[in-house]
Structure 1
Amino acid sequence: MISFLVSKFVKNASDTKSADVRSAVGTLCGWIGICNNIFLFLIKFIIGILVTSVSIQADAINNLTDAGSNIISIISFYFSNKPADKDHPYGHQRSESIASLFVGVIIVFLGFEMIKESVIKIIHPQEIDFRWITILILLISISVKLWMYSYNKKLSKVYESSLLEATALDSISDVLGTTGVLLSTILSPIIHFNLDGYMGIVVSVIILWNAYNLLKEVINSLIGQAPDSDFVNEIVDIILSDARILGVHDFILHDYGPNKQFASAHVEVDSENDIFEIHDHIDNVERAVKEKMGIELVLHMDPVRVNDPKTEYYKEKVKDAICLCNPEWKFHDFRIVTGPTHDNLVFDLVIPFEETKTKKEIENDILSHMNVDKIIYLVITIDHPFA
């Protein structure tokens, strides 16, 4: 049904990379969510009053809160689709992540509130009131929330939306909560013991765990996390497909939200090649990455000497010394500056983030493993792996 609604109300719905399409799909899901949640609130709140069930009334209030979250998501999709302006030159796509963070916080709040209510029910158990209409209402609620979870989860992957993912998580959390209420409603009269509070604590812990994973993912995205290694390697492979590019280093990816990614990297080229020809090839590589992966790539050209005996001699010495120091260390962008009394060896050294040695200790360690006739100094720039 959701596929029909998307195709009916969203133009060019198959264009999953379009910001307008993503916004329209998110807004549509928001309005569907508002209607479903208000419907569930009304029927559960009424039945909760009729059977004097605090847990069902609380579940109803939770659905009303979900309707508020849906309103937030609609507003978020509106702002995230706004074009770039002078104050926000990279667009407003991160508005979606901020809204996802807010929804996650709401889920955490409801999880703790459910724990509090559950403890109160354990300490002060209420009289069990079983009615078949209660079972019917709870089953309807679970079915509706499972449907909401399924379409939000599906569309979150199709349109790469963290906010729809958060909404899906909220829906499955509601399924767990309502299932807990249902089980306690069925089992409590059978065993003559009110399970409502105990079941509520179990469900609350599951909800809080899901919320933790959501918040962790969203916060990492906002702070800036390491890009996926396969994703980086795909870009590097495109860059190295040009035979005139000898190596790639200092790759940086800036992620401003779905379909809004910028990247930069340094590429090593033969210093003897014509600079205009190399520039032409670099332009072609940047366009290829843009066309294939939708990423705005900027490449910085690093000229290196190729087949220079003295450069190759020192390069091998540095390579052997680094291998003896730590096989996990790597280097790139190697060049030399020669003089009458000493030579400077200039290069970038890539070390793991976990490395505890200082820069001075690293330099002394490398020099201690080098045996050369001339005085040398190391001019090292410390880097870390980009994937």
Structure 2
Amino acid sequence: MDRVSALRRVGLLVLGANLVLALAKGAVYLSTGSLAVGGEAVNSLADTAYSIVVVGGLYLTTQPADDTHPHGHERIEPFVSLVVAVGIGAAGVGVLWQAAQSALAGGAAVAGPVAAGVLAGSAVVKYLLFRYCSRMAEDFNSPALRATALDNRADILTAVAALAGVAGSALGYPVLDPLAGGVVALGILYTGYEIGRDNVGYLVGEAPDSDLRDEIVARALTHPEVRGVHDVVAHHVGPEVDVSLHLEIEGDRTVREAHDIETDVVRAIRAIDEVDDVFVHLDPRELGEWKEDDDGRIPARESGPRRPDADRR
């Protein structure tokens, strides 16, 4: 399955599941008055709303490159995820307010087994969606699907909390229902924060983790003609990573030979799933411009002699 088909299919699946859950929870809330179930209904309704945004965003982000977007449209995904985060946060605030008002009033009406059943079913559905979205997000490096997976993970916890509140209310402790609604609200708010934090990093050009940088250096040094690597800069441009680096090669190489070395290294680094584009600068090794890492190591296969007056720009 290609990336376009996979992302669109996942978006539609999540939209359908959230819509069904929102309708089921809403119906149970209207019949029982359980605030915990009502909070879950609002949560699922918010999930449905942002799922529509995700489906639209995934349609845009999977459009092919064109003259106005030569690198494609993948960078729209972090904006889609931020919309998701804002919607989740708004839903969390609303549920928390309702829970506080109900707790001050002494609790909610007792809910029956139907309420417990819909919450248990919701937890199962959300677990399955979490596993599926996590796998697809990893396979296709999609921030929007990763945000969706995190939201489904939080929904598992909030459904369980709501179920505990319903059970406590049935046992004669009605105040546990709004307290569970408060736990649901806090879970919703944390998920919104988590999604927003991750995607702001994509938008402001945050560096990827150190493992990816190490892999970039290792792939560059795999080429037999590369004697050293320095000034490695990797940063997010949307969900993907752009890389620039300097390669040390023998200074007597012809232009054609240097071009072939650069092309091979660029291809090797671009083969990394997260990497979008690679920019390479070639330095004659005789200039001695090897740069030390933060821990004092020189990431080179063969450092060779260095000039005492080597410029450490």
Please give the per-residue CA displacement for 1:234-268, whole angstroms capped at 9, x wherever unaligned. Answer: 2222322334332211222354455x544221122
Secondary structure at the counterpart of residue 265 of structure 1:
strand
Mark the runs of 5 or more structure 2 residues left unpaired by the alignment: none
- Distance in 2 (alpha carbons) for counterparts of 1:296 and 1:327: 27
Question: Equivalent of 1:114, from 91, 95, 100?
Answer: 95
1:186 Cα deviation (Å)?
1.1
Rate the CA distance shift 1:68–1:346 in 2: closer, same or farther, 3 A: same
What is the total number of aligned residue pairs between the two structures? 307
Give the TM-score normalised by structure 2.
0.84
Rate the CA distance shift 1:39–1:286 in 2: closer, same or farther, 3 A: closer
The one-letter code matched in structure 1 to 2:154 is: S
Q: Is the 8 A contact 1:148 1:171 kept in 2?
A: yes
Rate the CA distance shift 1:207–1:130 in 2: closer, same or farther, 3 A: closer
Query: Going by fraction, where is strand more abundant, 1 or 2?
Result: 1
Secondary structure at the counterpart of residue 75 of structure 1:
helix
Between 1 and 2, higher relative CO (CA 8 Å, sep ≥ 6) is seen in 2
- Distance in 2 (alpha carbons) for counterparts of 1:58 and 1:207: 10
1:210 Cα deviation (Å)?
3.3
Determine the structure 1 residue equivalent to 2:234: 253
1:347 Cα deviation (Å)?
2.0
Q: In the alignment, does 2:311 pair up with 1:347? A: yes
Question: Equivalent of 1:98, from 49, 70, 79?
Answer: 79
Correspondence list, 1:219-298, <5 A: 219-257=200-238, 261-291=241-271, 296-298=277-279
Please give the per-residue CA displacement for 1:349-369, whole angstroms capped at 9, x wherever unaligned. Answer: xxxxxxxxxxxxxxxxxxxxx
Bigger drift between 107-116 and 89-98 goes to 107-116
The one-letter code matched in structure 1 to 2:200 is: I
Determine the structure 2 residue equivalent to 1:63: 44
Rate the CA distance shift 1:202–1:136 in 2: closer, same or farther, 3 A: closer
Mark the runs of 5 or more structure 1 residues left unpaired by the alignment: 1-12, 14-20, 337-343, 349-380, 382-387
- Distance in 2 (alpha carbons) for counterparts of 1:300 and 1:127: 67
Higher CA-based Rg = 1
Question: Equivalent of 2:158, from 162, 174, 177?
Answer: 177
Q: In the alignment, does 2:29 pair up with 1:48? A: yes
1:68 Cα deviation (Å)?
1.5
The one-letter code matched in structure 1 to 2:311 is: F
Rate the CA distance shift 1:273–1:156 in 2: closer, same or farther, 3 A: closer
- Distance in 2 (alpha carbons) for counterparts of 1:22 and 1:277: 36
Determine the structure 2 residue equivalent to 1:154: 135
Give the TM-score normalised by structure 1.
0.69
- Distance in 2 (alpha carbons) for counterparts of 1:28 and 1:221: 24
The one-letter code matched in structure 1 to 2:263 is: D
Q: In the alignment, does 2:93 pair up with 1:129? A: no
The one-letter code matched in structure 1 to 2:246 is: H
Q: In the alignment, does 2:68 pair up with 1:87? A: yes
Q: Is the 8 A contact 2:130 2:153 kept in 1?
A: yes
